[in-house]
Homo-oligomer: A and B are copies of this chain.
Amino acid sequence: MSRTFNVALIGSADTITETLVELLDERNFPIDQLYLLALGEALGQSLAFRGRQLRFRALDNFDFAQVQLAFVADELPQSCRTRALAAGCSLIDMTAGLPLDQAPCVVPELTTVAPGESAPFLLSTPTPSAVACALVMAALSPQLKVRRVQLTAMLSVSTLGREGVQELARQTAELLNARPLEPRLVDRQLAFNVLARTGEADEQGHTLLEQRLTSELRQLLQLPELPISVTCALAPVFFGDSLSLSLQCDEEVGVAVVQRLLEAAPGLELVEVGDYPTAVGDAVGQDQVYVGRVRAGVCDLRQLNLWIVSDNVRKGTALNALQIAELLIKHYL
């Protein structure tokens, strides 16, 4: 008989936790007990797992010695984190909120080794765009020496969680019915509009997400000095991120070679030449990251331009977190 694990999921009923719980079932993760744990508001919320409604219970007095693994979808007090690790429970953080030197990020297609000595581990799943870009850039790294990365990411409103999805739906309906719009959640019209950023900017003008994405990509590619420039905008799309990625290389880019590398890479799906992928038409609900529009610069053959789409909730977050868990149970737990 194969081993099973007890697993905790810390957070609330949201798009990501819902998807994670679906995936645990779909991928036959060897779970014995699943504990849903919440801080405050989410107490009493529930998620469906294997045909049963599970309720979120209080995190406060939870004995982490009962579980080998916990997925963390909400900001966890430092004391809880310490308590979980002390009890031998590995943590997979999905909040992009922990320092990367303490909780390194992992994309399991790119490594078979977890950063750290032995369980318990404290690991991060990267932000969704970093997962997608890392998969693409790692596929190309044997052939392309990249000097500079330029990314404009058009993120979907599910980046803001279920509330973002609800707000886009609400605003769209109001506008189509010619009712006056009173934006909630963000301070301006989301529907039929593109927002230049996803949160507050620092003094230099960068958002937390843009800085995080930069750090994550550098860590994932093991290129701590790589110049990366990122703009994360918010598009009126419910699910699925669209990325316009440009890589400035040392030498002329062979488009045919790039296509072969992308075709062979794990986690990626290259669309046919002449076609292009879209978030809704290709990526949403899928376990792959889709790539198309592979082309050199209009007037610079050392530049490679790509269009990448990915399901930010599924492939970008929940699935990657689960793949980290699969890696841990396979080799370490």
Contact = CB atoms under 8 A, between A and B. Distances in A.
A231 B294 CA distance: 11
A192 B190 CA distance: 11
Nearest to A194: B242
Q: Is the interface of A mostly helix, strand, loop or mixed?
A: mixed
A188 to B, nearest CB: 5
A303 to B, nearest CB: 6
Q: Shortest 8 CB-CB distances between A and B: which pairs? A: A205-B295, A152-B152, A196-B276, A193-B280, A152-B244, A194-B242, A196-B307, A229-B297
A227 B173 contact: no
Nearest to A294: B205
Interface string A187-216: 011001111110001001110001100100
A331 to B, nearest CB: 33
30 contacts: A150-B150, A152-B231, A152-B244, A154-B154, A154-B194, A169-B176, A172-B172, A172-B176, A173-B176, A189-B281, A194-B235, A195-B278, A196-B242, A201-B293, A205-B295, A205-B296, A206-B295, A206-B298, A227-B297, A227-B299, A227-B300, A227-B303, A231-B244, A231-B246, A231-B293, A231-B305, A231-B307, A236-B236, A236-B237, A244-B244
Q: How many copies does the complex hold?
A: 2
Nearest to A306: B231
A109 to B, nearest CB: 23
A274 B197 CA distance: 11
Nearest to A204: B295
B237 A154 contact: no
A201 B280 CA distance: 21
B176 A233 contact: no
